[in-house]
A and B are shown apart, each in its own frame.
Chain A
Amino acid sequence: MIPLDRYPKEITLRDGARLTFRPMVRDDADRLREFFRQIPPEDKMYFREDVDRKEVVERWAETLDYGAVLPILALEGDRVVGDTTLHRDRTGWKQRVGALRIQIATDYRHRGLGTAMLREMRHVGEKTALRHLVAEMIEEQHGAIRAFEKLGFERAVVYRNFVNDQKGRLHNLVVLLYSMRQSEDELNF
Chain B
Amino acid sequence: MYIDRRGFGYNFCVPLSRLTCSACGAELTYDSGKALEHSGGKVACPYEGLAYAELRSGHDRIYFGRWRKVEATPLDVRRAYHQIGRHLSAIAQALGERDLPAARGDLERAVEAFRTEDPGTGSPELLRLMDHALSYAHRSIDALLHETGLPAHSPMDFAEWYDAVEVPFRDEW
Number of interface residues of B (CB under 8 A): 22
- CB pair A115–B152 under 8 Å, yes or no, is yes
Measured CA separation A144–B139 after assembly (Å): 17
- CB pair A14–B173 under 8 Å, yes or no, is no
Using Cβ atoms and an 8 Å threshold, which residues of chain B touch A126? 101-102, 105
Measured CA separation A112–B145 after assembly (Å): 13
Contact string against B for A residues 1-21, beta-carbon threshold 8 Å, 1 for contact and 0 otherwise: 000000001111110000000
Interface residues on A, range: 20 to 34
- CB pair A122–B172 under 8 Å, yes or no, is no
Using Cβ atoms and an 8 Å threshold, which residues of chain A touch B173? 109-110, 112, 114-115, 143-144, 146-147
Q: Most chain-A CB neighbours within 10 Å: which of B102, B109, B139, B147?
A: B102
With an 8 A cutoff between CB atoms, is A180 at the interface?
yes
- Known A114-B173, A119-B142, A123-B146; contact A13-B105, beta-carbon cutoff 8 A: no
Q: Closest Cβ of chain B: how far from A91's Cβ, in Å? A: 24
With an 8 A cutoff between CB atoms, is B41 at the interface?
no
Contact string against B for A residues 131-174, beta-carbon threshold 8 Å, 1 for contact and 0 otherwise: 00000000000011011001110000000000000000000000
With an 8 A cutoff between CB atoms, is A175 at the interface?
no
- Known A12-B151, A116-B151; contact A152-B139, beta-carbon cutoff 8 A: yes
With an 8 A cutoff between CB atoms, is A79 at the interface?
no
Contact string against A for B residues 93-112, beta-carbon threshold 8 Å, 1 for contact and 0 otherwise: 00000011110111011000
Using Cβ atoms and an 8 Å threshold, which residues of chain A touch B99? 127
- Known A12-B150, A14-B151, A119-B146; contact A110-B105, beta-carbon cutoff 8 A: no
Which residues of B (93-133) have their CB < 8 Å from a CB of A? 99-102, 104-106, 108-109
- CB pair A11–B149 under 8 Å, yes or no, is yes
- CB pair A10–B146 under 8 Å, yes or no, is no
Contact string against A for B residues 55-66, beta-carbon threshold 8 Å, 1 for contact and 0 otherwise: 000000000000
With an 8 A cutoff between CB atoms, is B37 at the interface?
no
Measured CA separation A112–B34 after assembly (Å): 29
Using Cβ atoms and an 8 Å threshold, which residues of chain A touch B102? 119, 122-123, 126
Chain B residues close to A by CB (< 8 Å): 99-102, 104-106, 108-109, 139, 142-143, 146-147, 149-152, 154, 171-173
Given A12-B150, A181-B104, 13 extra CB contacts under 8 A: A110-B172, A110-B173, A112-B151, A112-B172, A115-B173, A116-B146, A116-B152, A123-B147, A143-B173, A146-B173, A147-B171, A152-B109, A152-B139
Would you mind naming 28 contact pairs between A and B with Cβ atoms under 8 Å apart? A9-B149, A10-B149, A11-B146, A11-B149, A12-B150, A13-B151, A112-B151, A115-B152, A116-B151, A116-B152, A119-B143, A120-B146, A122-B102, A123-B101, A123-B143, A123-B147, A126-B102, A127-B99, A143-B171, A144-B173, A146-B171, A147-B173, A151-B139, A152-B106, A152-B109, A180-B101, A181-B101, A181-B105
